Structure 1
Amino acid sequence: MSSEAEGRFHIVDVSSISPYAPGGVEGPPPGPQRATLLTDDGVRIDAVYESCTRSVPGTAAPAVVLAHGFTGSADRPAVRRAARVLAEHAAVVTFSFRGHGRSGGRSTVGDREVLDLAAAVRWARQLGHARVATVGFSMGGSVVLRHAALERESGGHTDAVAAVSAPARWYYRGTPAMRRVHWVITRPTGRLVGRYGLRTRIHNRDWDPVPLSPVEAVPLIAPTPLLIVHGDRDPYFPLDHPRMLAEAGASELWLERGMGHAENAADEELLARLGDWLTRT
């Protein structure tokens, strides 16, 4: 991010504060704030908080935590655009998954990223937001599904969940785009391309154990409202993926005509509808 853009944020290092400990930050800040969160496994996560632009003084606005797709980050233009639109409905927390952007660690491509999202959700609650919803795109979509399922099993909760362009199952290689993604993830040369070409640092070990798949997570989320959103021109995951997720127990399914993949393809009209659904459901 440029120094001019950095000037928009109040920089706060909360890395010494466990995001799981209540009361780390007192009350929602009045303006944009950048912070370093510490996950349960010790990874530093870069996060940005922006207050709701239409909140009424004296009322508690809900918060939306946005989880980007693989090779994205909190500073990418598509993520910042999504945050701007969602901020018309709620306070917004964006963050960079491990191995992405300014965050530490290496990407596990959807496995331990659940801890990154958990840190961001807990931070939103520390800031005074009683209602917190999550929305994830692509890899982030799989993470919000698993996070909601695991939170429910552990006695926690998320108030609403939306997964956009998410896979239903792991190891899918049925499209050229996903075969390229697997090459980047699994091959040493691909990981070099990921690091220097895509600015994403990828772990070199396979999953062990294989995490709960998105479609297996969905039945565990109820009664939390769950929205599945997918474009009919998605080059990564065809329509059998959102249909599998919806049939597993989603509250709603939106199939978007003409839409491609993830945050880059989500226009402002769709983002506004998402913001409305996440805050009123």
Structure 2
Amino acid sequence: MSSEAEGSFRRSRVPSLTQDPLRAMLRTADGVRIEAVYERCTAGAGGTFGGPAADPASTPAIVVAHGFTGAVDRPAVRRAARVFAQRAAVVTFSFRGHGGSGGRSTVGDREVLDLAAAVEWARTLGHTRVATVGFSMGGSVVLRHAAAHSAQREPEHGGRKEARTDAVAAVSAPARWYYRGTAPMRRLHWIVTRPVGRIVGRYGFGTRIHPRQWDPVPLSPVEAVPLIAPTPLLVVHGDRDPYFPLDHPRMLAAAGDAELWLEAGMGHAENAADDELLARLADWLVRA
């Protein structure tokens, strides 16, 4: 969620992408229209991961899942896309209820279908290796998506094998649902659960939130982690995250076969991730 409490907003030194992005409206398995943007890898023709003219089949793609109240055109998402595009093609999108997408946010439940549609689109464009990275709420979504589309399980919610991910990274993700142990999370719960809060979410943060409570309660992130293997998994968290303390990433990493990065001085999610961390994330995602 966008807040001063997330830490200093990081600005990018990476120049804007030189090629016009491809914009599309995707449709999820439950019929929601999702806005999405595709950008080719910007590495030069001699680059490790292929230049702008490279065949998509030989170029990895990274699908980015933003945090709650984010959207495809928010500055932090565009900055992450510019850094990632130096190493891979990039798909960004707005979750339901955010930005120009349809529907209403279910705060991490049905959003798994939005991510699945974006991953399927990347594969439709010709990419044979597709990795996912999610921030905050998006981090919980990439974990549950990877579990649902693991080679070891049948996809849930009508998913298909085209939606599988080849590597997954969760940044600033919660380990468990209904956490209210910090002031920012108590404010977020007020926005999500109270009628007045949802009005604030809609007009203050541009996020349309579904009024119904979860029924059934979806698989929690920590429950999803053991189901992700053999897909490579990375958990990243800042030691100054004001939303989720360090027991969350440690719990996630301990639940399965995961690599853990604890970032000194980092706040929360995409707003707090600097270019150096984003570059390391991209390197891990394309090589894992």
TM-score, with normalisation over the residues of structure 1? 0.88
Structure 1, 197-206 or 47-56: larger mean CA deviation: 47-56
Identify the match of residue 78 of structure 1 among 76, 79, 104. Answer: 76
Distance 1:33 1:75 in 2: 13
Structure 1: runs of 5+ lacking an equivalent: 1-7, 10-29
The offset of 1:31, in angstroms, is 4.7
Paired residue for 2:31? 42
Aligned to 2:147: 149
In 2, the alpha carbon distance for the partners of 1:232 and 1:58 equals 39
Secondary structure at 1:110's aligned position in 2?
A: coil
Aligned residues: 254
Task: Say which SS state the counterpart of residue 105 (structure 2) adopts.
Answer: coil
Give the Cα–Cα distance (whole angstroms) in 2 for the partners of residues 236 and 251 of structure 1: 22
Alignment of 1:92-241 (within 5 A): 92-152=90-150, 153-154=153-154, 156=161, 157-241=164-248
> Secondary structure of 1:107's match?
coil
Match of 1:17 in 2: none
Quote the residue 1:5 is aligned against: none
* Aligned-pair CA distance for 1:151: 0.6
Q: CA deviation at 1:154?
A: 1.9
196-205 vs 250-259, greater mean Cα deviation: 250-259
Identity among equivalent positions (%) equals 78
> In the alignment, which residue of structure 2 is the partner of 1:53?
42
Q: So what's the TM-score if we normalise by structure 2?
A: 0.86
- SS of the equivalent of 1:191 reads helix
Q: Which has the higher contact order (CA 8 A, sep 6+)?
A: 2
Contact 1:31-1:51 within 8 A present in 2 as well: no
* Shift >4 Å, 4+ stretches: none
**Inter-partner Cα distance in structure 2 for 1:90 and 1:75:** 19
Give the match's secondary structure for 2:68: coil
- Separation (CA, whole Å) in 2 of partners of 1:83 and 1:249: 28
User: What is the CA distance between 1:251 and its match in structure 2?
Assistant: 2.4
Q: Which residue of 1 aligns with 2:286?
A: 279
Q: Mind listing any 5+ residue stretches in structure 2 that lack a counterpart?
A: 1-15, 44-49, 156-160
| Cα distance in 2 for residues equivalent to 1:128 and 1:31 | 18
Task: Give 2:147's aligned amino acid.
Answer: A
User: Could you list the per-position Cα deviations for residues 88-133 of structure 1 after superposition, in whole angstroms to 9, with x for gaps in the alignment?
Assistant: 0100000000000000000000000000000000000000000000
- Write the mapping of 1:230-269 to structure 2, written as runs, cut at 5 A: 230-269=237-276
Q: Could you say what secondary structure the match of 1:92 adopts? A: strand
- Partner amino acid for 1:190? G
1:9-48 matches, within 5 Å, as 31-48=20-37
- Give the counterpart letter for 1:172 in structure 2: Y
Q: Distance in 1 between matches of 2:101 and 2:74?
A: 14
- The one-letter code sitting in structure 2 at the alignment partner of 1:236 is Y
Compute the RMSD of aligned alpha carbons. 1.4
Other structure's SS at 1:47 match: strand
Q: How far apart in 2 are the matches of 1:274 and 1:83?
A: 12
